[in-house]
């Protein structure tokens, strides 16, 4: 019964998220509204962690399986994929490496700057 | 036989679960990053459907019940993020600054390359969410008018590549701080990269998994702006 109760909370939030997607005229998917709602609920303690924990962990764990049907849908989009296969590969490879380098270097610069400041402050 | 398959609700579910098990088994046996259970499962299923001349709709007849859980599962991503919120409070500047820089790099680089390749709006928005977690990437792509299944392909290529090159890139570009490494890997290569970050170290793994959701949320916001640049 515990899992049913936890799942009910998650499904109820998903439903409210669907309503928001329908009512709010900006292009944001229901799942994003739901994620933010859930996070706000947890942070404000309106939703205690133990009321959703077990079922949520299960859903996150099986997530790769949930991607199988949409990915098999590629069968229906083979032509569209062929058309953009080269740009898709080039863009995926180049942007992934760029993002990794920029994120890492920027984060590292911020960390080291903060550390230098803290050490400088300790000396004076 | 074919009639039975056409009417069966369980065929799509069973073949999906079975092929995923095979994918997991291959991954475990070989240990290759390329042996991604999702891709292996999809390749087997597509081959099977083509070989036995089963229509995609027949498969989807049952498989749609699996996809039913996609939104609740994405909502559940809030739980791991909530557990890592302490980390976010401890290093707010590095985390927000680093990930924001990464997301901006994603948007700008994908925009410029799409322009160079002469992609149309549909193709462009299909690629925009390629560095974020599949669950959210699918939603973004669909909402903006992209082809979600192709987005999944780009996301998978990204994740597998990120997983393979993460260590070399960090070494080559002197990204030495464990926090910076984790952020870099999670922001560029979502969950598949995070698997590698967890192998590198505990801090790297935690930072990487935090980046998955934070980068995805920032991307949702940025995409709605950047999508307009190629009408």
pLDDT at B1: 64
Which pLDDT band, with edges at 50, 70 and 90, does A27 fall under? Answer: confident
> Is B169 domain-assigned?
yes
Q: Are residues B43 and B149 in the same domain?
A: no
pLDDT at B61: 87
Establish if B110 touches chain A: CB-CB under 8 angstroms. Answer: yes
Give which of A11, A79, A72, A24 is closest to B143, Cα–Cα. Answer: A24
Q: Are residues B165 and B140 in the same domain?
A: yes
Angle at B152 between CA B148 and CA B153, to 5 degrees: 120
Q: Are residues B30 and B137 in the same domain?
A: no
- Residue ending a domain, choose from B41, B68, B95: B68
Gap between the Cα atoms of B69 and B67, Å rounded: 5
> Is B73 domain-assigned?
no
> How confident is the model over B220-226, as a mean pLDDT?
94
Q: Are residues B114 and B225 in the same domain?
A: yes
Establish if A106 touches chain B: CB-CB under 8 angstroms. Answer: yes
SS3 B120: coil
> Is B158 domain-assigned?
yes
pLDDT at A121: 64
> Is B135 domain-assigned?
yes
> Is B126 domain-assigned?
yes
- Residue ending a domain, choose from B46, B68, B90: B68
Q: Are residues B63 and B83 in the same domain?
A: no
Give which of A44, A62, A52, A69 is closest to A3, Cα–Cα. Answer: A52
Which pLDDT band, with edges at 50, 70 and 90, does B92 fall under? Answer: very high
> Is B223 domain-assigned?
yes
- Two structure tokens written together for B41: 């499962």
pLDDT in tens, B29-58: 998 877 888 889 999 999 999 998 888 888
Establish if B26 touches chain A: CB-CB under 8 angstroms. Answer: no
Q: Are residues B86 and B133 in the same domain?
A: yes
pLDDT in tens, B72-90: 999 999 998 899 888 888 8
Contacts of A75 in chain B (CB under 8 A): 46, 49-50, 56
pLDDT in tens, B101-112: 999 999 999 999
Q: Are residues B115 and B194 in the same domain?
A: yes
Q: Which residue has the higher pLDDT, B4 or B44?
A: B44
> Is B224 domain-assigned?
yes
Which pLDDT band, with edges at 50, 70 and 90, does B135 fall under? Answer: confident
Contacts of B59 in chain A (CB under 8 A): 69, 72
Q: Are residues B179 and B95 in the same domain?
A: yes
pLDDT at A77: 86
> How confident is the model over B6-23, as a mean pLDDT?
90
SS3 A84: coil
Min Cα–Cα distance to chain A from B149, Å: 5
Mean per-residue pLDDT over chain A, rounded? 91
> Is B140 domain-assigned?
yes
Establish if A47 touches chain B: CB-CB under 8 angstroms. Answer: no
Give which of A100, A104, A79 is closest to B176, Cα–Cα. Answer: A104
User: Phi first, then psi: what are they for B35, rounded to 5°?
Assistant: -80, 70
Min Cα–Cα distance to chain B from A5, Å: 14
pLDDT at B9: 82
pLDDT at A89: 96
Which pLDDT band, with edges at 50, 70 and 90, does B17 fall under? Answer: very high
pLDDT at B55: 86
- Residue ending a domain, choose from B68, B103, B124: B68
Gap between the Cα atoms of A29 and B209, Å rounded: 22
pLDDT in tens, B110-131: 999 999 999 999 999 999 999 9
A89–B98 C-beta distance less than 8 A: no
Q: Are residues B31 and B134 in the same domain?
A: no
Q: Are residues B141 and B190 in the same domain?
A: yes
Min Cα–Cα distance to chain B from A123, Å: 23
For residue B55, the 8-state DSSP code is -
User: Within 10 A of B190 (CB to CB), how many other CB atoms are there?
Assistant: 31
What is the residue range of B174's domain?
A: 78-229
Residue A123 pLDDT exceeds 70: no
Q: How many domains does chain B have?
A: 2
In order, the DSSP letters of A21-40 are HHHS-S---HHHHHHHHHHH
Q: Are residues B146 and B209 in the same domain?
A: yes
pLDDT in tens, B150-206: 999 999 999 999 999 999 999 999 999 999 999 999 999 998 899 899 889 989 999
E strand spans, chain B:
none
Q: Are residues B59 and B84 in the same domain?
A: no
> How confident is the model over B57-70, as a mean pLDDT?
89
């Amino acid at each position: 019964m515990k899992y049913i109760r936890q799942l009910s909370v998650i499904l109820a939030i998903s439903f409210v998220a669907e309503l928001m997607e329908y009512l709010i005229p900006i292009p944001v998917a229901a799942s994003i509204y739901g994620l933010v709602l859930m996070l706000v609920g947890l942070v404000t303690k309106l939703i205690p962690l133990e009321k959703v924990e077990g079922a949520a962990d299960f859903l996150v764990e099986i997530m790769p399986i949930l991607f199988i049907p949409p990915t098999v849908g590629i069968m229906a989009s083979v032509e569209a994929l062929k058309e953009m296969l080269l740009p898709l590969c080039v863009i995926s490879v180049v942007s992934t490496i760029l993002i990794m380098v920029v994120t890492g270097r920027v984060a590292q610069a911020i960390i080291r700057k903060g550390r230098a400041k803290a050490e400088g402050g300790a000396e004076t | 036989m074919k009639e039975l398959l056409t009417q069966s609700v369980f065929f799509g579910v069973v073949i999906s679960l079975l092929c995923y098990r095979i994918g997991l088994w291959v991954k475990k046996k070989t240990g290759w990053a390329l042996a991604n259970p999702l891709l292996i499962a999809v390749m087997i299923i597509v081959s099977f459907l083509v070989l036995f001349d089963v229509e995609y709709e027949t498969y989807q007849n049952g498989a749609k019940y699996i996809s039913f859980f996609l939104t609740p599962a994405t909502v559940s991503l809030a739980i791991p993020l909530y557990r890592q919120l302490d980390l976010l409070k401890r290093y707010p500047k590095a985390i927000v600054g680093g990930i924001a820089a990464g997301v901006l790099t994603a948007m700008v680089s994908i925009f410029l390359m799409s322009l160079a390749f002469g992609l149309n709006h549909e193709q462009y928005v299909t690629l925009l969410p390629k560095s974020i977690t599949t669950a959210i990437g699918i939603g973004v792509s669909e909402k903006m008018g992209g082809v979600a299944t192709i987005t999944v392909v780009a996301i998978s290529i990204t994740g597998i590549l990120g997983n393979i090159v993460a260590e070399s890139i960090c070494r080559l570009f002197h990204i030495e701080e464990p926090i910076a490494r984790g952020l870099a890997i999670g922001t560029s290569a979502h969950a598949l990269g995070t698997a590698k970050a967890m192998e590198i170290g505990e801090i790297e793994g935690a930072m990487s998994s935090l980046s998955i959701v934070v980068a995805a949320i920032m991307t949702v916001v940025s995409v709605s702006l950047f999508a307009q640049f190629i009408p």
